[in-house]
Structure 1
């Protein structure tokens, strides 16, 4: 199977390296407010908590730094830091344009075998949505967007779009904890897939840009709820 095909296949039980698991858990704590801006992150303490050496913890923190979720300083502890609302909005704007361009080009040049794979993947995601499997859907969502990037047949566009998405990944992933988001996301994907399969470049681009805009809205809704819950928990502490 090609690398692109491997990315599109949805594993029954998605494998995750310790680095990925650590990165996602720390990201979850930051975006939900459990870890507040300015809090130092101790590599030894995290390694002990996750039952690993400091090496995967160090790599996870390095990846989080590229997302703007932590700040690494020479000879000092890594600290929690979130991108500003303006910085996040700017990143989502660029993401919408890049993914819209991918959908547009994909509608024009995607090979027949990849068209079928995209259609099948979308159907699988429908089953995950109906089952309420948020974790499985979130994992499959990454394969879905990769499939559209691959469908452009443009290596440079794939590279810069994937890189931008990785910076936003913790914020995009958190959206699936918002009530009703799985069904809404799948409906938005349906519009994108239908346009691509019909070769309608303009509609594909518009549907994808609309999708990313709604992802941003879902993130802000989730973040607001998480901050309210965090503040309530602090008030209830003895």
Structure 2
């Protein structure tokens, strides 16, 4: 399924975009290795070694580690480099609590503000994700899942809310991605999405907010369940 890409009026140079893309790829890959237990807490993350491993300069590695530190997956110390860490249960709970409220607000506003075209696109994406789920296409579903949530943020038609929600999701993305490894998670995720979509399409603000808040809470629980297995 092709993902829509919006072009900014003015943007960074091609080299800057390429560097950002590399940093993002590194962030996701290193985050996956940490959340799947391949890089346990306390492991030293040497910038030079990582740059050599991935065939990049140290700049995108440094950017990736900075992002991971914001998620609590990396601890950076002056003159001691970076080491793998894990946020405390309390810290992670706080992050998910805020995420749940932000996304609930987005879903509630989207139920009122989404245009007919936006509602059709959301419904179509949800249908396509059902096909991915039934096919067991983990990678495609995970990619589409980000677009699903982003579409709901955009549907709120509140630019500031979108900005802070995306920022919070970025910090939580390693844990949200990891939770899909929990047994049966794709089917459950799609079922939870169905409740959100149904409420939005019916224009039911309170129901949409409640469904999204519940969904994010379940995502957190699924991650904790998965984390106990690694």
SS at match of 2:40: coil
Which residue of 2 is the match for residue 139 of structure 1? Answer: 143
String of CA shifts for 1:133-173, please: whole Å, max 9, x gaps.
11111111000000000000001111111111111100010
Distance 1:147 1:172 in 2: 17
Which residue of 1 is the match for residue 113 of structure 2? Answer: 109
String of CA shifts for 1:161-194, please: whole Å, max 9, x gaps.
1111111100010011111100000010010001
Which residue of 2 is the match for residue 118 of structure 1? Answer: 122
Distance 2:128 2:79 in 1: 47
Which residue of 1 is the match for residue 152 of structure 2? Answer: 148
1:78 aligns with 2:77: no
SS at match of 1:78: strand
Distance 2:121 2:4 in 1: 8
Instruction: Name which of 203, 215, 220 aligns with 2:207.
Output: 203
Divergent runs of 4+, >6 A: none
**CA-based RMSD:** 1.7
Which residue of 2 is the match for residue 163 of structure 1? Answer: 167
1:192 aligns with 2:224: no
Which residue of 2 is the match for residue 48 of structure 1? Answer: 52
SS at match of 1:52: coil
Instruction: Name which of 18, 25, 31 aligns with 1:21.
Output: 25
Distance 1:76 1:32 in 2: 25
Distance 2:34 2:186 in 1: 22
Which residue of 2 is the match for residue 232 of structure 1? Answer: none
Distance 1:217 1:66 in 2: 21
Structure 1 unaligned residues grouped into runs of 5+? 8-15, 227-238
Distance 1:125 1:144 in 2: 9
After superposition, where does 1:220-231 map in structure 2 within 5 Å?
A: 220-226=224-230
- Deviation (angstroms), 1:37: 2.1
- Deviation (angstroms), 1:5: 5.1
SS at match of 1:183: helix
Q: How many residues align?
A: 216
- Deviation (angstroms), 1:112: 1.4
Structure 2 unaligned residues grouped into runs of 5+? 7-19
Distance 2:74 2:64 in 1: 10
Distance 1:96 1:159 in 2: 15
Which residue of 2 is the match for residue 6 of structure 1? Answer: 5
Q: Which moved more, 1:115-124 or 1:189-198?
A: 115-124
Distance 1:38 1:5 in 2: 39
